[in-house]
Amino acid sequence: MTQPVAIVTGASRGIGAHIADALQDSGYAVERGSRSTAPVTDRLAVEAWVGDIVARHGRIDLLVNNAGVIDAEVALVDSDPEQWWETVETNVRGPYLMTRAVLPHLAPEVGRIVNLNSGAAYKNADNATAYNLSKGALARLTSQLGLGSERTALVFDLAPGVVRTDMTEAMVMHRGRAEWTSPQEVTDLLLAIARGELDPWSGRMVRAGTDTVESLRTRAAAGLSELDRTLGLIAWGDDDPLA
């Protein structure tokens, strides 16, 4: 049997490293991305890296878009425009370029894409606005590709909860936090997605530390509406002309 191939961006540390290790332990040939391997915002670097992977392996079974950054936790009026846009570029342009490069080589029927997202995509807060906005945009990319009759691929948003990493420990909002999401809770969901056990959740968000593989299976069996766990317009009722 041909060894499955996974690409994990931002895999040199933190959640990305945990995911890459778990996939490798599960039998995947794992290509670990970092800024030195291929900056995800550099189109030519991304295309060259993906081309090299395809040349060596002949296939791609899984893409995990994990690379991401957060801007300063300040109000928009106090934000630095350069840092703000760099955050959006890394968190949106990066997954876009990676997905665009990988899609033509994704293994038919078994190929999947996982975008590491955040509950921040769904919350209104006037701080770290670039991060919040970028994760909302990523959620829309996931649903546009992963839902509907013209679905492009099996694409999932995986929110890791709050795993203890260098990034989360440096964030003001997590100072003094006593409870953290375990890396295994993240990798359990990731591996279940990779195995095809959560395909009904394509185009939607699942969250480690809240969801489990079993709870997601149970909920999917009960039925999912088009808007469940997606980012979209909330109508005021059936009489809303935009409903």
pLDDT at residue 2, as a whole number: 85
Q: Is pLDDT above 90 for 162?
A: no
Average predicted confidence (pLDDT) for the chain? 93
Q: What is the pLDDT of residues 20-71, one digit of tens each?
A: 999 999 999 999 999 999 999 999 999 999 999 999 999 999 999 999 999 9
- Rounded to whole angstroms, the Cα distance separating 136 from 17 reads 24
Range in 85-89, 134-138, 161-165 with the lowest mean pLDDT = 161-165
* pLDDT level of residue 169 (50, 70, 90 thresholds): low
pLDDT at residue 150, as a whole number: 75
Alpha helices in 93-212 (DSSP H): 94-102, 129-146, 166-169, 183-194
CB 120 within 8 Å of CB 109: no
Q: Is 131 a catalytic residue?
A: yes
Give the global pTM. 0.92
Other C-beta atoms closer than 10 Å to the C-beta of 101 total: 22
Amino acid identity at 122: Y
Among the four given CATH numbers 3.10.180.10, 3.40.50.2300, 3.40.50.720, 3.20.20.370, the one describing domain 5-222: 3.40.50.720
Q: Residue 25: which of 187, 147, 205, 175 has the closest Cα? A: 187
Q: Residue 8: which of 83, 66, 51 has the closest Cα? A: 66
Per-domain boundaries in the chain? 5-222
pLDDT at residue 198, as a whole number: 98
pLDDT at residue 243, as a whole number: 80
Task: Write down the catalytic residue from 28, 96, 122, 131.
Answer: 131
CB 50 within 8 Å of CB 102: yes
Q: Is pLDDT above 70 for 105?
A: yes
Q: In percent, how much of the chain has pLDDT > 70?
A: 93
Alpha helices in the chain (DSSP H): 14-25, 43-57, 81-88, 94-102, 129-146, 166-169, 183-194, 213-222
Range in 50-64, 171-185, 187-201, 227-241 with the lowest mean pLDDT = 171-185
